[in-house]
Structure 1
Amino acid sequence: MTIARRLIRIVALLAIIIGIVWVGQGTGLFPYPASSFMINQAPWVLYGILLAAAGIVLMFVSRRFER
């Protein structure tokens, strides 16, 4: 596995995880920490979906570096 492919996969995985957390906080399903400004805020649902989608796209892009 090349360094570029490994780095892209790490960034993609982090984007997917963070996106899911943002969706959870935006919907109120993951209200941690309790003082977070993101809880029950609809824009964070959209931001989370977009970030997770970007992570999924990066996972597919990382397949280009296979050899």
Structure 2
Amino acid sequence: MKSWVPLVIGVLLAAVGILWTLQGLGVVGGSVMSGNTTWAVIGPIVLVVGLVLAVIGLRRLRARP
């Protein structure tokens, strides 16, 4: 696997996690997910997973010869 793939996936997951959190909290409207507390819980979990993947990807890129 390319060393930049976890970084890209991590950044995308982090962005989705932020969006889902904001929708779950009712900050972002216009969706079935808006105001639903389930997404206010799932969003931060996805955000943390994305950040972990992004850090792994950055470390792999820096460790490349």
Q: Name the SS of the counterpart of 2:49 in structure 1.
A: helix
Partners of 2:23 and 2:34 within 8 A in 1? yes
Residue of structure 2 in register with 1:16 after alignment = 14
| Unmatched tracts of structure 2, length 5 or more | none
TM-score normalised to the size of structure 1?
0.82
- Aligned counterpart for 1:40 among listed residues 35, 48, 51: 35
Structure 1 runs, 4 residues or longer, greater than 6 Å off: none
| Unmatched tracts of structure 1, length 5 or more | none
How many residues align structurally? 62
TM-score normalised to the size of structure 2?
0.84
Q: CA RMSD in A?
A: 1.4
User: Partners of 2:7 and 2:18 in 1: how far apart?
Assistant: 17
